Amino acid sequence: MTNGAGPVEWSVVASPVGPLMLAATGTGLVSVTFHAQPPVREGTRAMLRERLGAEPVEDGGSDVLAAAARLFDAYFDGSLRTFDLPLDWSLTSGFHRRVLQELATGVPYGSVVGYGELAARVGRPDGAQAVGAAMGANPLPVVVPCHRVVESGGGLGGFGGGLETKRRLLELEGVLPQPLF
């Protein structure tokens, strides 16, 4: 399978929650990966190669990657609330894509939504667990803010980047209080 969007380029950017691996196609940002140490990067590159049918190339000068790096810096310094980037949704489809697109457009910075409420928004009021699966498969965390999806009883729920990362992102957005020390 060929992705039809040209080469896949990637780079690693530093962040307060650890290194992030960003990948883009000619269509847009396609992947964000937490904890991007060398073994994680290799696993992500293999997944991109298999799923997109193109050999990922490190930092080939992609305008999308450069813009994404700037926007992540602005997000983490508190000056950005919305990622205005072209996105390549080719790593997700069907129900997962509908859920992630609703999340991207319908849950703004500084707010949270329950798994069940998000399921109802996409026409599956009994689909809270399916929403959880979509969050776990989100190829674009932070940009598509799965950290904003929480349990209806007030718990954080799960998070592919780890619960401490989710907590830090929600603190940054003012949803949770900053720890005293």
Closest by Cα among 45, 27, 28 to 36: 45
List the structure tokens of 32.
């964000």
CA 124 to chain centre: 22
Q: Considering 118, 146, 150, 169, which one is annotated as catalytic? A: 146
Dihedral Cα 143, 144, 147, 152, nearest 10 deg: 160
Based on its alpha-carbon atoms, the radius of gyration of the chain, rounded to whole angstroms, reads 16
161 an active-site residue? no
List, in order, residues 6 or more apart from 165 with CB less than 8 Å away: 17, 18, 34, 147, 159
Look-up: residue for tokens 């699966």?
A: 133
User: Could you tell me where the DSSP H helices lie in 53-139?
Assistant: 63-76, 94-106, 115-121, 128-136
Closest by Cα among 176, 174, 152, 151 to 164: 176
Question: What's the rounded Cα separation, in Å, for the pair 113 and 150?
Answer: 6
Which residues are marked as active site? 146
